[in-house]
Structure 1
Amino acid sequence: MYQELGSFFNPSPEMRELSILKAIAENPSISQERLSREIGIVPSMVHRYLDDFEKTGLIKKTGENRRTMSYVLQGDGRNRLQYLTVAYLSDVAKIYAQSRSVFGEVLDFIGINGLDSVYLYGAGIVGKMLSTILLFERIEVLGFIDDSALKKGKEVGGVPVFDPEQVIETDYDGIIVASFAHSSSIISRAEAKGLRRLYVFEISENGSVSLKKHD
């Protein structure tokens, strides 16, 4: 299933159409209830899409009732799925190129300084965003470091969250402080616990981003 983007990119009818067609291609007997859960729309909307697909010849329904119902992609349906997939990947490529230009300085800094394996100090929104980008760029994110008892020992986006003292003796290339609002206090706590090789993720007043080594 294709993952929809965040709140800045509201899901379009084309995105929902693509998601439904792909789900049907992978599992023709998928139920409308499961489609609703996976795509994140109400069952009545799923029903409308399926009716439209049948009327336009994209799918053919088989089965006498809901339990035995299957949806078979027709030739036009397969063509539509291929077209929407190409359009989706084209848009994703554009978004990636734009994000790469925004984070280019940060990624270049990471490469120049050999930060191949890092911890992210702060498992909030900034940390999660950085984790997604770094993992996509094949940079090893060893884990989050966080002082919150509610987060320690859990995972955020599949990345484990550690207490600061758990990582002191581990091997890492750097610790990126992933909080622009509380970076100073995080640095103070990190230094007090003996953590080393600290780098600070910064967002300037004009919206540019950078990564700097803490001296």
Structure 2
Amino acid sequence: MDFIKNIKFFTPTAELKELTILQHIENSEDTTQKELAELVNAAPSMINVYINDYEEKGYIIREYISTKTVKYKITSAGVRRKNYLLITYLHELLKLYRLAKENIEGFLEKLEDKGYRNILLYGAGEVAETILSVIRDRGASRLNIAGIIDDDEAKKNKKLLGYKIISRDDIEKYNHDAIVITSYTYEDDIRRRLGEVGYDGGRVVRFFW
């Protein structure tokens, strides 16, 4: 759960930090307060406050190996607390996923209403991955993803959720009705690059529009 250091959309709450710390202690009794501080992006002094609080509540115990070496062990109460936090966190994420899914499904339905059947995605990042996940969840779909274009050489010829990542130079090798730009940061650059290779701008669809 070291993703908390790079989390962008949410401000990590005390409960999320608690979940992360308890999970890490369960998996690694030899962890240090420095490691825990890096894990949840907190000052080491705050980790000591958290640890004291969890110990007082019976979630963990300390085992002193020496004057300088301490092992942290999660208790059965700590495991129950960790599992409760995990389920609560997952429930909130699912609510947000349903909201995002509704918006993506609405976007896909608009593409289908325009008569598009085979599309290419441009940008093999988190947006494309989310769209592909929603399409998979739909089951039967009138839309077919022919491939994913990306300008990152390291990604080419690899796959994202089973879909091949291709070069911009290979666009015409794939039967498709339109290209959907799935990059927020590089949207304008992608439109310009498609124009440079003479691609019909009328067949370019922007997801963030």
**TM-score, normalised relative to structure 2:** 0.69
Matched, 1:153 2:153: yes
Q: 1:51 to 1:202 in 2, by over 3 A?
A: same
Alignment match, 1:213: none
What letter matches 1:189 in structure 2? Answer: E
Measure the CA separation in 2 of the matches of 1:47 and 1:19.
Answer: 15
Matched, 1:185 2:192: yes
Alignment match, 2:130: 133
Q: 1:106 to 1:195 in 2, by over 3 A?
A: same
Structure 2: runs of 5+ lacking an equivalent: 137-144
- Contact 2:120/2:179 (CA < 8 Å) preserved in 1? yes
Alignment match, 2:206: 201
What letter matches 2:168 in structure 1? Answer: P
Q: Deviations over 1:131-166 (max 9, x none)?
A: 2412433667955433xxxxx3245xx97987522x
- Give the 3-state SS of the residue equivalent to 2:24 in structure 1: helix
Q: 1:74 to 1:104 in 2, by over 3 A?
A: same
Measure the CA separation in 1 of the matches of 2:206 and 2:193.
Answer: 12
Percent sequence identity is 20
Matched, 1:36 2:27: no
Q: 1:104 to 1:163 in 2, by over 3 A?
A: closer
- What displacement does 1:90 show? 0.8
Counterparts of residues 80-159 of structure 1 (less than 5 Å): 80-108=81-109, 113-115=116-118, 118-120=120-122, 128-137=125-134, 143-146=148-151, 152-154=152-154
What letter matches 1:130 in structure 2? Answer: V
Measure the CA separation in 1 of the matches of 2:34 and 2:66.
Answer: 14
Measure the CA separation in 2 of the matches of 1:185 and 1:137.
Answer: 28
Q: 1:172 to 1:198 in 2, by over 3 A?
A: same
- Contact 1:153/1:162 (CA < 8 Å) preserved in 2? no
Measure the CA separation in 1 of the matches of 2:70 and 2:41.
Answer: 21
- Contact 1:18/1:84 (CA < 8 Å) preserved in 2? yes
Q: Deviations over 1:176-200 (max 9, x none)?
A: 224576265344224x2x6999541
**Which one of the candidate residues 164, 168, 171 is aligned to 2:168?**
164
Alignment match, 2:78: 77
What letter matches 2:34 in structure 1? Answer: E
**TM-score, normalised relative to structure 1:** 0.67
- What displacement does 1:60 show? 0.5
- Give the 3-state SS of the residue equivalent to 1:37 in structure 2: helix
- Give the 3-state SS of the residue equivalent to 1:61 in structure 2: strand
Measure the CA separation in 2 of the matches of 1:49 and 1:82.
Answer: 18
Counterparts of residues 12-23 of structure 1 (less than 5 Å): 12-23=13-24
- Contact 1:118/1:142 (CA < 8 Å) preserved in 2? yes
Alignment match, 2:61: 60
- Contact 2:147/2:166 (CA < 8 Å) preserved in 1? no
Measure the CA separation in 1 of the matches of 2:77 and 2:95.
Answer: 27
